[in-house]
Structure 1
Amino acid sequence: MTIRSKVRSAALVLAASTLFLSSCSGDDVQTKSENDVNAQVQKHAETIASLVGNPLVNPSLSARRCTGRGDESSDKIFTVQGAYNVDPPQKDQHLASLARVKADWVAKGYTITDDRTVGTDDGVVAAKTPDGYDLDIERAIPDGFAVLIHSPCFERP
């Protein structure tokens, strides 16, 4: 390998690394521990459950590598997904519960990314927080709600 091709290869690696970091978060990736991110995901889920008026059930938190636009990834850069269920509200109150959640998100300045009624008492509401968390609540079959929280990408300390 010539010096010129070594320099070109190094430049491509550097460019790919920069693309990876910026494509994960849109900016520089903040450093945060997985425990801190898990706590924030859990906090968002608990707030949603309190607005519905029922507890979270079947919690599942999982960290995974963030993947960039060119399918590049790193073990140091991660995202956390929280998946939960919330017991059903009173009969015929799913849409009212979703409306309470949406109103809370709007009041907090979150960007509503999805807001659909998909049945008589069935719907979906999703939002993005100013700090990059994606929140989603939707009717689970046969009852209750599914809640999904995705963190932005962070770098492990």
Structure 2
Amino acid sequence: METKSEADVNAVVQQHAEQIAKVAGQPLENPKLQAGPCTGKLGEDSDTIYSVQGVYNLAPPAGETHLAVIRKVHEDWKSKGYTITDDRTVGTDDGVVAAKTPDGYKLDIEKANPDGFAVFVYSPCYERP
């Protein structure tokens, strides 16, 4: 299990969220980052093992559909070699795309109700120094 400070993990979560916002063409809103307990790949579990979840909102797209923005994010992730783990259209202009980065971060963007987007970034498990 890799050892990393919570501040360092928060910074990576934030970077991923900012990249999604850049591709979507909207600034991040209502950021919430929270560390929580985590069970490692080998079943490790202790007070020092944690992951970070980042939750954000994005304003509705300007001049394009929600699905067009979600497709742009999907293409960006594909071009970076991320593994697409979910890619669904769930309504006329409603969808979700999720991916996993090579270093284990899980990313998700989906249409929020009533409008705009919800963005989620989950870190892998780390051990506190």
TM-score computed with the length of structure 2 as normaliser = 0.94
Report whether the alignment pairs 1:35 with 2:7.
yes
Structure 2 stretches lacking a partner, 5+ long: none
Q: Distance in 2 between matches of 1:91 and 1:119?
A: 19
Cα distance, 1:32–1:72 mapped onto 2, change above 3 Å: closer
Compare the two structures and name the one with the higher helix fraction. 1
Report whether the alignment pairs 1:117 with 2:89.
yes
Structure 1 stretches lacking a partner, 5+ long: 1-28
Report whether the alignment pairs 1:59 with 2:31.
yes
Q: Distance in 2 between matches of 1:106 and 1:80?
A: 23
Larger Rg: 1
Q: Distance in 1 between matches of 2:67 and 2:31?
A: 23
- What amino acid is the match of 2:105? Y
Deviations 1:77-98 (A, max 9, x none): 1100000001110365101100
The equivalent residue for 1:146 is 118
TM-score computed with the length of structure 1 as normaliser = 0.78
The equivalent residue for 1:107 is 79
Paired positions, count: 129
Deviations 1:27-74 (A, max 9, x none): xx10111000000000000000111101100100000110358x8731
**Aligned residues with identical type, % of pairs:** 66
